[in-house]
Amino acid sequence: METYPKTAAMMKRGTDFLGCETAILCGAMSWVSERNLVAAISNAGGFGVIACGAMTPELLDKEIAATKALTSKPFGVNLITMHPALFDLIAVCRKHGVTHVVLAGGIPPKGSVEAIKADDSGIKVICFAPTLALAKKLLRSGADALVIEGMEAGGHIGPVSTSVLAQEILPALAEEHLIFVAGGIGRGEAIASYLEMGAAGVQLGTRFACATESIAHPDFKKAFFRASAREAVASVQVDPRLPVIPVRALKNKGTEEFTAKQREVAALLDAGEVDMGEAQLQIEHFWAGALRRAVIDGDVENGSVMAGQSVGMVTKEEPAADIIAELMHQCEAALAK
């Protein structure tokens, strides 16, 4: 088995924290990051993360148990902060002794970090930080590690590129804190550069979406293989009052349908038929449904084919272990230069 001494040394803080061999996390992709892919990535030495998304506590309970049946290695669970049953989902994670909980989609609500860590649970909390100021606030509020994710990523994105976020946040925080970098990473050379800037590790989603173990529909995977970076576009906000987080996906009919959905929800908001919270939930439910149509049903024309700009580097279906080995090999070669 090939060893990567330079990479391993630079990832040591990350691997010690995650409890795995390689500080490469898999981004939580709804419908894709489920038991099969999560277990495959963890078994290959990376760190798989279940995407809870819109799951009920009962469904998450089953998913964690099914993942544990496929791997004895550590894995995490990604919870969406605006989920109405967030505290029940936290209880499910605690019951199963999940080692790491990732809070995504907004600032963790009051008491949520405390609920995860109550009674010295030992569970580590990972949060997403889109700015330096917010990164500091989250660390003060109890986050054990941060993921900084640039706009090149697939799915829900922030407004700033990965390279800029890395330059702003890593020099300021990486010496004392664990920071993982995500967004647009497709090769090991990029991983090497972020490790050299102080990152504890990286997170990739798009590269793993088409892994052999991914349950994504063959047509979903084919859409990735055909696509180039410029086809992974960010959604447009139609109404400034409706604070819709942009989503990056391959351009198709579904992209246009989302624009129409925003107009429809904005009209309901105007008429006073829904409040802002309900409006945002309707948008989230739209995405969950559109993503399911693409990933599970293979409707890549009308569904949402969420993909990061690194999609052009995804050219074939291969096992998760091979993807990790290739990234590590490229990273080691870059660090050895």
- Locate the domains of the chain by residue range: 5-216+314-336, 218-309
Is residue 50 within 8 Å of 67, Cβ to Cβ? yes
Which of 28-42, 83-97, 250-264, 289-303 has the least mean pLDDT? 250-264
Class of domain 5-216+314-336: alpha beta
**How far is residue 176's CA from residue 174's CA, in Å, rounded to a whole number?**
6
Distance CA 66, CA 179 (A): 29
- Confidence bin at 303 (pLDDT 50/70/90): very high
pLDDT, tens digit (0-9, with 9 covering 90-100), for 88-109: 999 999 999 999 999 998 899 9
Residues 106, 145, 23: CA angle, nearest 5 degrees: 115
Gap between the Cα atoms of 67 and 37, Å rounded: 9
Query: What DSSP element (H or E) covers 104?
Result: strand 100-104
- pLDDT tens for 69-81 read 999 999 999 999 9
Q: Kind of pairing, strands 49-51 and 76-80? A: parallel
194: amino acid identity, one letter: Y
**pLDDT tens by residue, 126-135:** 999 999 999 9
**Pairwise CA distance, residues 313 & 190, whole Å:** 13
Q: Which residue has the tokens 């929800």?
A: 265
- Give CA separation, 176 vs 20, 139, 171, 199, 289, in Å: 21, 11, 10, 11, 40
Which of 120, 161, 165 has the alpha carbon at shortest distance from 146? 165
Output the pLDDT for position 9: 98
- Percent over 70 (pLDDT), the chain: 100
Looking at residue 1, its pLDDT comes to: 67
**Half-sphere exposure of residue 22: CA atoms within 13 angstroms, side-chain side:** 30
For residues 312 and 228, is the Cβ–Cβ distance under 8 A?
yes
Read off the pLDDT band of 278 (50, 70, 90): confident
Cβ-contact 181, 162 below 8 angstroms = yes
Instruction: State the angle between helix axes of 5-18 and 320-336 in degrees (0 to 180), rounded to the nearest 10.
Output: 130
Above 70 in pLDDT, residue 188? Answer: yes
Calculate Rg over the CA atoms of the chain.
19
Q: Give yes or no for a contact between 215 and 34, defined as CB atoms under 8 angstroms apart.
A: yes
Give, in order, the Cα–Cα distances in Å from 158 to each of 49, 84, 148, 163, 238.
20, 23, 10, 13, 17
Q: Rounded distance, CA 302 to CA 90, Å?
A: 33
In the predicted structure, residue 255 carries a pLDDT above the cut 90: no
Helix (H, G, I), strand (E, B) or coil at 185: coil
Write the burial class of residue 2 (CB in 10 Å: 0-12 exposed, 13-18 middle, 19+ buried).
Answer: exposed
Neighbours of 3 (CB within 10 A): 9
Percent of the chain at pLDDT exceeding 90:
85
Contact 47, 20 (CB under 8 A): yes
